[in-house]
């Protein structure tokens, strides 16, 4: 009886101890909160003379890593840079490379970039209208002179609309054709050169990527870089759409001009696209790459030639360590 009593007490003690020894169930990780981008936080307020000038610092990728501050700037043309803007790019941002995505016909004495001491200038043409404009102008050389004249006088709202109207009337505007161009072999050759520059940025320097308005061509290149760095689709789309905040006044003005010019909804959509961005355009671009290659990163691997080592190096260059 005494032995039974001792055994009973021992078993009871064991039962009391066991629950405390069991591992607590692991709670699932809480989903990361969605980051909401703020244009005012991203805007480069010291180079306000350049349209849509902003940086990607502070963006958080799917691994929780943060884009380094002031290392990648995106903008419109640098033709309007003043002395203070040049000083900021040279001394605050320490810009080492400027990547201009405009087509050569867009560049003339009035639109060419101002020089930034210490920065290497690269022209990697990424203009979706190139084939269309070449076909048009080779058949009608006089139209080329008219187009150049309109571009030289495009610094006013009326002048800018005159260029837009010309492009619409001659079939040079097409958001659909733009998406197709960004998947072309010609564009891919430009991406290869662009990523060579991006992969060789010195630690303490910044790179500027720009086109005419800093929205579509620049937006696609930023989408490719952010995809390479494992940023999610939502943040990439937010970055793209910030251009509408930057260009709000221009969009309102162009909308007013366009609605006076035509009642045609398609024409209005395409013409306003000169200043505005539409989320569905970038969504289609991402979806097209994904449908053809598996993902945007797979497109960069298969067509642009980036390797896993390149992706790791890009993260080391542009992202804070965890």
In tens, the pLDDT along 97-118 reads 999 999 887 888 888 999 999 9
pLDDT of residue 10: 47
* CA–CA dist 215, 213 (Å, integer): 6
Token readout for 304 is: 């642009």
pLDDT recorded at residue 196: 98
Per domain, the residue ranges of the chain are: 36-318
Residue reference for tokens 């061509």: 217
CATH class of 36-318: alpha beta
User: What is the tens place of the pLDDT at every residue in 124-154?
Assistant: 988 655 566 677 777 788 888 888 788 777 7
Angle (nearest 5°) at CA 245 between 194 and 266: 85
- Give me the phi and psi of 90, to 5 degrees please: -75, -45
pLDDT band with cut points at 50, 70 and 90 for residue 16: very low
Q: Are 101 and 126 in contact (CB under 8 A)?
A: yes
Q: Which of 132-146, 211-225, 243-257 has the lowest mean pLDDT?
A: 132-146
Strand positions, DSSP E, the chain: 54-55, 72-75, 95-100, 120-123, 206-210
Angle of the 185-198 helix axis to the 217-228 helix axis, nearest 10: 60
Q: pTM for this structure?
A: 0.86
């Amino acid at each position: 009886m005494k032995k039974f009593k001792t055994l009973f007490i021992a078993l009871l003690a064991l039962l009391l101890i066991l629950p405390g020894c069991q591992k607590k169930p692991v709670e699932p990780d809480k989903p990361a909160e969605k980051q909401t981008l703020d244009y005012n936080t991203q805007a480069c307020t010291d180079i306000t003379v350049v349209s849509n000038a902003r940086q990607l610092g502070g963006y958080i990728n799917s691994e929780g890593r943060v884009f380094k501050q002031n290392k990648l700037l995106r903008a419109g043309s640098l033709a309007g840079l003043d002395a203070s803007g040049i000083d900021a790019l040279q001394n605050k941002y320490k810009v080492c490379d400027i990547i201009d995505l405009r087509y050569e016909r867009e560049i003339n004495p009035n639109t060419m970039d101002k020089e930034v001491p210490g920065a290497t200038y690269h022209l990697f043409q990424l203009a979706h209208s190139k084939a269309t404009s070449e076909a048009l102008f080779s058949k009608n050389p006089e139209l080329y002179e008219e187009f150049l004249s309109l571009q030289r006088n495009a610094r006013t709202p009326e002048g800018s609309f005159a260029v837009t109207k010309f492009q619409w009337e001659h079939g040079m505007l097409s958001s659909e054709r733009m998406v197709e161009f960004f998947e072309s072999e010609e564009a891919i050759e430009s991406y290869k050169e662009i990523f060579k520059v991006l992969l060789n940025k010195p630690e303490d320097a910044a790179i500027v990527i720009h086109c005419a308005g800093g929205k579509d061509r620049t937006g696609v290149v930023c989408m490719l870089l952010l995809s390479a760095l494992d940023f999610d689709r939502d943040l990439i789309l937010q970055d793209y759409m910030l251009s509408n905040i930057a260009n709000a006044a221009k969009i309102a003005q162009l909308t007013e001009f366009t609605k006076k010019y035509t009642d045609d909804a398609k024409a209005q959509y395409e013409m306003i696209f000169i200043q505005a961005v539409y989320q569905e355009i970038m969504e289609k671009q991402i979806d097209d790459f994904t449908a053809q290659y598996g993902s945007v990163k797979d497109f960069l691997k298969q067509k642009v030639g980036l390797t896993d080592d390149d992706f790791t190096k890009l993260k080391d260059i542009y992202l804070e360590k965890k």
